[in-house]
Structure 1
């Protein structure tokens, strides 16, 4: 298998006995705006990372482990731009997919060493990240070009309390496409009105493998917050609240039974 067709959109490729099928361009279009969790790791220069073969990437771009703006994916085509968010630290980065992999376990994303550092999980090695596809690639961006240079993306954005705030910041700072051409505002609106929006279920299998979710993730924890402030209670009123419902019911029944048995006025006179 040559580098040119090793990761073509829609193709199936194998490495070290592990096989993946890359999403097509149409399938990747349907993932724009989706969000979901995946297990991510990071990879380094081939001189330091024994699992990273030396040579050019599957896209043809030179791998830069020292830049926090690139990543590898076995499912998303090269050229795809994503937002990666670490819900444990609140760090967010815009990354471009430039390579294939990872090829181990359930991991679905390999970020550069610098990106892992910025996202706050380099010391752990792996992390559960929230991702969203910001831009699906064109056919030219997804194809192999030796020593190609993609337009730069923002990389690390900073810390955000929620994923929604991070994606809003990413969309504001995202660079334009490689050709730099932009339609006039009126023409762009007319074209947008004519072109139907992509259907969200073109590739359920791809979305399922990426564990994509529509519901927003939980915000970054900033410490425990009490729903209700502390209040003073007596020991007698505290115990019934802590007892399970079944225990309270048994206690009430036993109390009533005991009261009935001790109520001698309600019993017939044994001597009569």
Structure 2
């Protein structure tokens, strides 16, 4: 009888040992899926222009991975937005001097109050915001990826 109990305990521990890790990973994946869905729900796919403050990526962000998985290239037209979907193309216009550039949203941020976009240093130079570090801008989406895989064009922003 003792041997039978020992045998059953060994079998149960083996079964539980393989079942427990599978059970443990399920809530983690579910949690990430929930966070992603929540974040997706907060995205602005309307194509409406927004006004706010722009800043640019500092040196400490060069070569770091962005939200889309690519590395930040200071010579690119990459930009970060908290509300526009990744892959959105938008025209950013400096409201102080009228300079504008087309950017592609490839990252999340900026995480500073009242800032609506971070641009690459190259774009910041073209917009004329490197000297002061920030500027009031208007961001007009040109192409906005939709959840179904289509792209919503906005010909008025071009």
Q: TM-score, normalised by structure 1?
A: 0.40
1:133 aligns with 2:141: yes
The whole-number CA distance in structure 2 between the counterparts of 1:9 and 1:132 is 25
Runs of 4+ more than 4 Å apart: 7-10, 138-141
Structure 1 residue 53: Cα displacement: 8.5
Matches within 5 A, 1:180-191: none
Q: Which structure has more strand as a fraction of its residues?
A: 2
Indicate yes or no: 2:73 matched with 1:64. yes
Between the aligned partners of 2:50 and 2:39, the Cα distance in structure 1 is 23
Cα 1:78–1:139, aligned 2, differ >3 Å: closer, same or farther? same
- Give ranges in structure 1 of 5+ residues lacking alignment: 13-20, 142-166, 172-272
Equivalent in the alignment of 1:87: 95
- Give 1 or 2 for the bigger CA radius of gyration: 1
Q: Distance in 1 between matches of 2:80 and 2:144?
A: 15
Q: 1:101 aligned to 2:115? A: no
Bigger relative contact order (CA 8 A; separation at least 6): 2
What CA deviation, in whole Å up to 9, does each residue of 1:55-98 have, x standing for no partner?
3111112211122x210011111111111011221211011100
Q: 1:215 — aligned with what?
A: none
The structure-2 alpha-carbon separation of the partners of 1:9 and 1:75, relative to structure 1 and needing over 3 Å to count, comes to: farther
Greater helix fraction, Structure 1 or Structure 2: 2
Gaps of 5+ in 2: 1-27, 150-154
Question: Residue 75 of structure 1: SS of its match in structure 2?
Answer: coil
- The DSSP-based 3-state class of the residue aligned with 2:123 is helix
Superposition pairs for residues 1-272 of structure 1, below 5 Å?
Answer: 8=36, 10-11=38-39, 22-23=42-43, 27-28=44-45, 30=46, 32=47, 34-44=48-58, 48-49=59-60, 52=61, 55-67=64-76, 69-139=77-147, 171=158
Count, aligned residues = 124
Separation in structure 1 between the aligned mates of residue 62 and residue 100 of structure 2, nearest angstrom: 28
In structure 2, what is the Cα distance between the partners aligned to 1:127 and 1:80?
A: 21
CA-to-aligned-CA distance 1:21-56 (integer Å, 9 cap, x gap):
741xxx41x2x2x32311111013xxx22xx38631
